[in-house]
Structure 1
């Protein structure tokens, strides 16, 4: 369907733009005479705003319709991104005070997180609206592949263009969601709101969403652990120089992105998928990858281990979206998708601090902790499936 293709494209371009900021934030902070924690603050604020706003966007799309909410948030996202690019370009030339620069960057990144929160939330709800339950796993896998492509392209675009200018990647990145928005305006049809009269939003601790919410927090937390620890681990356990560690970390994260895309493209081609089974097996496969990191101390071992992790998580993420959509009614799709997205933002806020604290205890600690909780997730899903089988048989 044209509207699904438009959503896939728009999500890819939006996440590419978001991730293009990652490789340039460090050099920009240094050029502006700021400190490392300033970069961490801007990233954290974006995650907090995402966490706080995702459910609100989802509920708004249930009441007012997916198309107007998504187009409004997308237009604001493009505008804020372009404003940030312009301000950073100005700051690099005029060098305003550190306090003013920090305040403006925190404000703009917070607004970016606020408006970006609507994009995956409303997109997932829209896909659930127009797809029969039996086919949702395939569609969510395609959405996951689209996001995986953005995860790979974003840092590549940012790093490549940064050789010319630190502000150039941001100007180019701002154009990407603008192009996607133009395509979305043309191709995304208008559907009537799912809620015809005011109703209370879905409770954040709704029992129907316990498994997807827990799975999203642990899966996203595992991704963050792998991202933050890889460079340090390459230095401390592989005994590489900082330049060599950066290169190996880049190889490992590229392997993650490519594996995520391949696994989710493969899922999208399967006619019928047992999402709970995929989540269980994916969690356990990711456990194997995390444990393997701590045992295979070589460059090849690190890259292969990260690919195994990604293969498992590539099964988990689409399953989360599918189980979420299939657990609730039509008029709750937006709020349910927002709930899961909010938990994703929560993991982005909590896990960076938790993983760095664990790493100080022992370099293997973050990996083993992620493996332990993913093992518990797989066991929880297994128990849930067994109970559902007994209930259906009765």
Structure 2
């Protein structure tokens, strides 16, 4: 079991790392290529749309074909598409091509990356759902969540380190990590029979139980993406920092969040072993507290504490909504549910940058206020559903 969990952890970490290596290098690359800033947004957004569209498809394929084959296909596609994306950028930087042809190739190859990564994410989560039951599900999903969170946090940091060598080196590392993860998955993840032999039953994202956890997942991911997208602008404006100082501050803050996420998920796996609902409710309190501190404080030390508090909250909410979605469906629907969870990540990556940057131009506090309101509404709905279910049982 430890071998399975460890290999699944590394698979999810490698997939998220590969995804997050791209975002930090796109702005300087776009300017080196003489393209517009809007082109960068188009490339990233269309890649996220591909991720959102393909995640449920890969999840259903994993129900029908088995988890391991889809994970392996995901890493093969990820390595090839990342290589093609790097080749297109290399061609543009060396003036082999330009204009509409270059933009088209960058959109297509980035979309391919977005299309293959959820094959790993959805199949890995479904595999964890297969090998855990009941109370173990929350601990199992904490492993997935920890890998997700670490990839989200350390991807940009690793990309920044590799740019010291060259702007394309993060992509070369992405190709390497995908190949390494393929080999590890091939050798260490046991093959398992498909959970169903016929066409997999469709999973309705609006079905009772599942919709609540998908909504909690969307709120969680919007919160994480908001901090990543507008955090640098906000802290630079609040503290009057230079660009270099802002980059250092945000990097340290995200590292604090990553450490807090890992700590909370270890606590959940080893000691708490809570069910999804209490994990989400407690996590929402931490997340709400961090938003309030971000809004009212102008001190660097308080901001760092807020990052840590944010990591504690998201470190509980991520495994909470993943486990909740998994427990809301049958064994034959694990892949479909996992695909919807992965799609939520893609959807948040599409809507959050556009929404939060637009709101930031109106008032710099509004994006954090929006996250706080969404968290409060989500918590109230979850408490209300629980209360109604209790009254129903009592009646």
Aligned mates of 1:147, 1:326 — CA distance in 2: 19
Query: What's the CA shift for 1:392?
Result: 4.5
Q: How does 1:102-117 map to 2 (within 5 A)?
A: 102-117=103-118
Partner of 2:302: 301
Greater shift, 108-117 or 255-264, is seen at 255-264
Residue in 2 that maps onto 1:5:
6
Q: Does 1:27 align with 2:21?
A: no
Residue equivalent to 1:244:
245
1:179 corresponds to 2:180: yes
Check whether the contact 1:32–1:95 (CA below 8 A) recurs between aligned residues: no
Q: How does 1:325-340 map to 2 (within 5 A)?
A: 325-340=326-341
Q: Deviations over 1:153-204 (max 9, x none)?
A: 3222211111111122211221002101111111222222222222541123
The equivalent of 1:100 in structure 2 is 101
Mapped contact 2:214–2:344 kept (Cα < 8 A): yes
Structure 1 residues 255 and 98 mapped into 2: Cα distance closer, same or farther (>3 Å)? farther
d(CA) in 1 for partners of 2:365, 2:111: 33
The answer to whether the 8 Å contact 1:49/1:111 transfers is yes
- Please report how far the alpha carbon of residue 91 of structure 1 lies from its aligned counterpart in structure 2 after TM superposition: 2.5
- 5+ long unaligned stretches in structure 1: none
What's the secondary structure of 2:164's corresponding residue? coil
| Superposed displacement of residue 208, structure 1 | 2.5
Q: Partner of 1:205 in structure 2?
A: 206
Distance 2:155 2:201 in 1: 38
Deviations 1:333-386 (A, max 9, x none): 100111122122111111111111211221111101110110111112222223
The aligned counterpart of 1:138 is 139
Tell whether the 8 Å contact from 2:75 to 2:181 is kept in structure 1 after alignment.
no
Which residue does 1:119 correspond to in 2? 120
TM-score by length of 2: 0.95
Q: Would the aligned equivalents of 1:280 and 1:379 in 2 still touch at CA under 8 Å? A: no
Higher alpha-carbon deviation: 128-137 or 187-196: 187-196
**Number of aligned residue pairs:** 394
Cα distance per residue 1:255-291 (max 9 Å; x no partner): 2222222221221212631220110111121011101
Q: Could you tell me how far apart the structure 2 residues matched to 1:144 and 1:202 are?
A: 22
1:321 aligned residue: 322
Matches within 5 A, 1:55-94: 55-94=56-95
Moved more, 93-102 or 112-121: 93-102
**Rounded Cα–Cα distance in structure 1 between residues aligned with 2:346 and 2:189:** 26
Return the alpha-carbon distance in structure 2 between the equivalents of residues 199 and 231 of structure 1: 44
1:391 Cα deviation (Å)? 4.1
Root mean square deviation, CA, Å: 1.6
Aligned partner of 1:269 in structure 2 is 270
SS of the residue corresponding to residue 117 of structure 1 reads: helix
Corresponding residue SS for 1:24? helix
Q: Distance in 1 between matches of 2:300 and 2:387?
A: 40
CA distance in 1, matches of 2:307, 2:176: 32
CA contact (8 A) 2:58 2:119 kept: yes
Residue number in structure 1 paired with 2:385: 384
Distance 1:67 1:112, change over 3 A: same
Aligned-partner Cα distance in 1 for 2:189–2:222? 32
3-state DSSP of counterpart to 1:198: coil
Question: What TM-score, normalized by structure 1, do the two folds share?
Answer: 0.95
Structure 2 unpaired stretches of 5+:
none
**Cα offset for 1:332?**
0.5
Whether the 8 Å contact between 1:6 and 1:188 is mirrored in structure 2 is yes
Task: Confirm or deny: 8 A CA contact 2:200 2:333 kept in the other structure.
Answer: no
Q: Matches of 1:306 and 1:111 in 2, distance apart?
A: 33
Instruction: Output one character per residue of 1:192-244: Cα deviation in whole Å (capped at 9) or x when no partner.
Output: 22222225411232223111111011111111111112111123222223332
Query: What are the Cα deviations for residues 7-50 of structure 1, in whole angstroms up to 9, with x where unaligned?
Result: 11121122222212222212211111111111111110111011
